[in-house]
């Protein structure tokens, strides 16, 4: 389902078993080496979403290998199985095996939303690469607001992302404004291993070396 050029929604892409395995992996990362936290914002606030990273550690405007704003530890390595999952995501969303084979995500931001958490309109511009972003949802559904590249206001489209859904944002959609205005509590299947809340995994290419 192409929502906009380069923005493709594939409902129910992950099997229940894959969702359970991702929940288990994310639970492991949430406890360390860098524990999941509410990211501090430059203005002094904190995000309502909790985030843990693998590959590179993200904080507003920077990707680093060590979590200097949390506990100083080096982030967990980005696993090869996640590179493979990202490539399969691109292959399925874009039906382009060549693009998929050339896609090597090196970081994932794992966001956990409780019933009250939300994410305001923003663009993802901290990566030095314009390669696509792969997004996976597990647990409760959310309202996802997909906007335009020019402004953080209308026109935008609201859609629901549900457990197992894949969304790929590439091409002209890579720098679109987007937000998560609300979570729909109680919509997840506890068989995923998540009893409440929403887990979102986004894979990215930072374009950084080391
Ligand atoms: C469109 N996460 O981590 S996923 C984020 O559900 C983020 O946790 C949301 O926005 C979440 O930055 C939305 C969908 C998404 C992710 C990255 C994008 C949409 C995007 C990058 C560019 C355009
Ligand atoms: Fe984003």
For the Cβ of 39 lying below 6 angstroms from any atom of ligand 1, the answer is no
Chain-wide mean pLDDT for the chain? 98
Q: Which residue has tokens 């949802």?
A: 137
Q: Which atom of ligand 1 is nearest to the CA of 122?
A: 10
Q: What pLDDT score was predicted for residue 10?
A: 98
CA of 200 to the centre of ligand 1 (A): 8
| 127-153 confidence digits (pLDDT tens) | 999 999 999 999 999 999 999 999 999
Q: What pLDDT score was predicted for residue 210?
A: 82
pLDDT band at 27 (very low <50, low <70, confident <90, very high): very high
Q: Which residue has tokens 């909790």?
A: 50
Q: What percent of the chain has pLDDT over 90?
A: 100
Ordered by where they begin, the domains of the chain are 2-204 (2.60.120.590)
Q: What pLDDT score was predicted for residue 137?
A: 98
For the Cβ of 169 lying below 6 angstroms from any atom of ligand 1, the answer is yes
Q: Which atom of ligand 1 is nearest to the CA of 137?
A: 6
The whole-number average pLDDT for the span 29-45 is 97
Q: Which H or E run includes 17?
A: helix 16-31
Longest dimension (CA), the chain: 44
pLDDT band at 32 (very low <50, low <70, confident <90, very high): very high
For the Cβ of 119 lying below 6 angstroms from any atom of ligand 1, the answer is yes
The whole-number average pLDDT for the span 18-36 is 98
For 72-79, the CB contacts below 8 A with 24+ separation are: 73/32, 73/33, 73/34, 74/33, 75/33, 75/34, 76/29, 76/33, 76/34, 78/54, 78/105, 78/106, 78/107, 78/108, 79/25, 79/54
CA distance 199 to 197: 7
Does the pLDDT value for residue 109 go beyond 90? yes
Does the pLDDT value for residue 57 go beyond 90? yes
* Threshold 0.90, pTM exceeds: yes
For the Cβ of 135 lying below 6 angstroms from any atom of ligand 1, the answer is yes
Q: What pLDDT score was predicted for residue 16?
A: 98
Helix (H, G, I), strand (E, B) or coil at 82: helix
Does the pLDDT value for residue 12 go beyond 90? yes
Determine the Cα angle at 146 with ends 189 and 56, to 5°. Answer: 75
CA of 145 to the centre of ligand 1 (A): 10
Residue 18 burial (10 A CB sphere; 0-12, 13-18, 19+): middle
């Amino acid at each position: 389902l192409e929502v906009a050029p380069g923005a493709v929604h594939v409902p129910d892409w992950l099997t229940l078993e894959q969702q359970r395995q991702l929940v288990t992996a994310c639970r492991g990362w949430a406890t360390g080496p860098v524990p999941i936290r509410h990211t501090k914002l430059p203005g002094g606030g904190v995000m309502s979403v909790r985030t843990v990273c693998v590959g590179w550690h993200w904080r507003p405007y920077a990707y680093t290998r060590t979590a200097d704003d949390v506990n100083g530890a080096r982030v967990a390595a980005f696993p090869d199985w996640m590179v493979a999952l990202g490539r399969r995501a691109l292959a399925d969303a874009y039906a382009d095996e060549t693009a998929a084979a050339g896609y090597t995500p090196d970081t994932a931001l794992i966001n956990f939303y409780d019933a009250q958490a939300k994410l305001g309109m923003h663009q993802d511009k901290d990566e030095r690469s314009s390669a696509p972003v792969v997004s996976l949802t597990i647990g409760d559904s959310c309202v996802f607001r997909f906007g335009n590249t020019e402004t953080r206001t209308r026109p935008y489209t609201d859609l629901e992302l549900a457990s197992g859904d894949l969304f790929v944002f590439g091409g002209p959609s890579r720098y679109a404004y987007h937000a998560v205005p609300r979570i729909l509590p109680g919509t997840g299947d506890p068989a995923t291993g998540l009893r409440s809340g929403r887990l979102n995994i986004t894979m990215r290419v930072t374009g950084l070396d080391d």
